[in-house]
Structure 1
Amino acid sequence: MLRRILDPVRRWAASRRAPIVLLIGFGVSFAGLSLLASSLVYTSTEPFCATSCHEMATTSDVEYRSSVHDLNRTGVRAICPDCHVPHAPIPLYVAKMGALNDLWSHHVTHRVDTPAKFEAERSRMAQNVWRYMKGNDSRECRHCHDEAKMDPDKQSDMAKARHAKARRERMTCVDCHFAIAHHEPHGGPGPQELQVDQALIPKGAIF
C-alpha cells in the first residue's frame, strides 16, 4: 500500500516538471510571507492607526496630540501602537486577528463614525481597553516603562508611596495611570472598579 502511494510521487519528483513546480511554490510562499510581514509592519504605524480612518482622526488622534505621550519636555513619544499593539510575536498575531473584529464592528457598521456616536461609546470602549490591560498586567505600558530602571530618588514622595501601595495591593499600571492620552469617560466604573475574569479578557481589543 505504501509503495503504491509513494511510486507516483517518486515518478513525479523525477520528472522535469517537479523543479519548476517547486520553484513556483517557493516564489508564491515567499511573496505571501512578505506581504503578511509588510501588512503587520504597516498596520502598526502611527499614520495607519491615527489617520487612516476618520473615526480616529477626528477623535482619538486629536486628544492624543495634546497629551504628554505626544508632546513633552524630553521629546520621547509613545505612538498609538506602543500602547495598543503587543510587541511579542504571539500576542501581536492574536491582536491583529482581534482588530479585524474591531474593523467590522466599528468602522464598517459606522458605529462610531461621528463625534456624538464616539462619545456615546467612549465608556464601553475604554472599559474594554482597561480590562485588556489589567488582564495582561499592563504589558504594553511595561514595554517602555521598566519598573526595575525607575530611580526612586527622582520620584516625589507621593509617587514613591503610591508605587509602594500598588505593589502591596498587586495593582497594575492602568489602575492609576489612565486617561493619559485620551479623555476620561463620564460615568461608569474606572479601572480599579473593574473585575477581570481572565477567560473574558477581549483578545486583541483596541476599542
Structure 2
Amino acid sequence: MSKTSSRRISMITAGYLFAAGILFVWGIDFAIKSTNTLEFCTSCHTMSTNFEEYKKSLHYKNASGVQATCADCHVPKPLGPKLATKIIAAKDVYHEVVGTIDTPEKFEARRWHLANMVWDRMRASDSRECRSCHDFANMDLSEQGRSARSRHAAAQDKGQTCIDCHRGIVHYEPDPPEETDPETPGAH
C-alpha cells in the first residue's frame, strides 16, 4: 500500500470517527434535553401526586412568572454531576417498570425513603440546584421579613444548606414510617 493510500485511509477513518463523535454527543444532548422536560418527568402516573403538589407551590406559579421545573431542582447544571444524576435516575424508571413504585399507593409507601435519598443528595451538594436561583450571596436580607432575614443570616453563619430548613417547600414532606414493634408477628 502506498503512502498516499495509507494517508487517505487515515483521513477517511478520522472523518468517520469525527462524525460518529458528533452524532454521539448530539444523541446524549438530545436524550438529556428530552428527559429534562416537565412532560417527561410527570408522564409516570405515580408522579401525579408530586405534580399536583408542585402545581400548588411558588415554583410553579408566582407573581414574577418565573417557573422552576423538575429538572431545575433535581438535575445539576454541570455536565459531570448531570450525567451521574441521569444514570442514577434510570433506577426510577426501572422501579416503575418492575412494579416497585408503579401505583400511587406503592409510591407513598416508599416516599419517606425516597425523600431522604433526595435530601441527603441535596445536603451533599450544598443544595447546588437550589443555589442556581437562591444564593445567600445574592439575597438582599434587608428586603426579607424579619424572621426570614434572621433565619437566613443564622443559616449562613452555621453553614446550613437550603434543604435543612426548606423540606416540603414544593412537595409535601412525607411522614416518617410508623415504628413497628419487633415482637409483633410480621413486623419488619
Whether TM exceeds 0.5 here: the answer is: yes
Correspondence 1:1-207 to 2 at 5 A: 13-14=6-7, 17-51=9-43, 53-56=44-47, 58-104=48-94, 106-187=95-176
Q: Structure 2: how far apart are the matches of 1:59 and 1:96?
A: 22
Deviation (angstroms), 1:139: 0.6
Q: Structure 1: how far apart are the matches of 2:103 and 2:29?
A: 32
Aligned Cα root-mean-square deviation (Å): 2.1
Q: Structure 2: how far apart are the matches of 1:179 and 1:9?
A: 70
Aligned-pair identity in percent equals: 40
Q: Which has the higher contact order (CA 8 A, sep 6+)?
A: 1
Deviation (angstroms), 1:165: 2.1
**Deviations, residues 60-89 of structure 1 (Å, cap 9, x unaligned):** 112111111101122111110010000111
Q: Structure 2: how far apart are the matches of 1:9 and 1:108?
A: 56
- Per the normalisation by structure 1, the TM-score is 0.77
The question of whether the paired residues in 1 share the 8 Å contact of 2:136 and 2:156 is answered with: no
Deviation (angstroms), 1:12: 6.0
Q: Unaligned stretches of 5+ in structure 1? A: 1-7, 189-207
Q: Structure 2: how far apart are the matches of 1:141 and 1:126?
A: 16
Q: Unaligned stretches of 5+ in structure 2? A: 178-188
- Per the normalisation by structure 2, the TM-score is 0.85
**Deviations, residues 128-169 of structure 1 (Å, cap 9, x unaligned):** 101010111111000011222211221111111111221232
Deviation (angstroms), 1:116: 0.8
Q: Structure 2: how far apart are the matches of 1:66 and 1:182?
A: 9
Deviation (angstroms), 1:55: 2.1
Q: Structure 1: how far apart are the matches of 2:115 and 2:161?
A: 16
